[in-house]
Amino acid sequence: MSSLVNIGFGNIVNLEKMTAIIGPESAPAKRMVKKAKSEGFCIDGTHGRKAKSVIVMENGSIVLSSLAPETLMARIEHYQIQSGRNSDAEY
């Protein structure tokens, strides 16, 4: 069974396919998002709000979330506790 987490506004991402959660403020993150948008590999889950997190998936696609990286990590940790998973897992 897949490990899913809500990234805001009912949008769900598979934890097992996540590579990183980064903030969108840095120049490299902005370039990554711009490139993903131009190549069609960017999924915008912000519902028109400001992106506060960039979720990098293992297939190279990018998911934008209006939740802060800290909030997403708290949700992931909550999921891990609820499902009995080790909190030191690679998420």
**Could you tell me the residue range of the domain that residue 18 belongs to?**
4-83
Q: Domain for residue 31, yes or no? A: yes
Q: pLDDT by residue (tens digit) across 32-64?
A: 999 999 999 999 999 999 999 999 999 999 999
**Tokens describing residue 25:** 């403020």
Q: Domain for residue 88, yes or no? A: no
Q: Domain for residue 89, yes or no? A: no
User: What is the number of structural domains in the chain?
Assistant: 1
More confident of the two residues 1 and 64? 64
- Residues whose CB is less than 8 angstroms from the CB of residue 67 and which lie 6 or more positions away in sequence, other chains included: 7, 8, 52, 53, 75
Q: Domain for residue 90, yes or no? A: no
- CB 54: neighbour CB atoms within 10 A? 23
Q: Domain for residue 91, yes or no? A: no
- Residues whose CB is less than 8 angstroms from the CB of residue 50 and which lie 6 or more positions away in sequence, other chains included: 66
| HEC assignment per residue over 12-71 | EEEHHHEEEEECCCCHHHHHHHHHHHHHCCEEECCCCCCCCEEEEECCCCEEEECCCHHH
Q: Domain for residue 55, yes or no? A: yes
- pTM score, whole prediction: 0.87
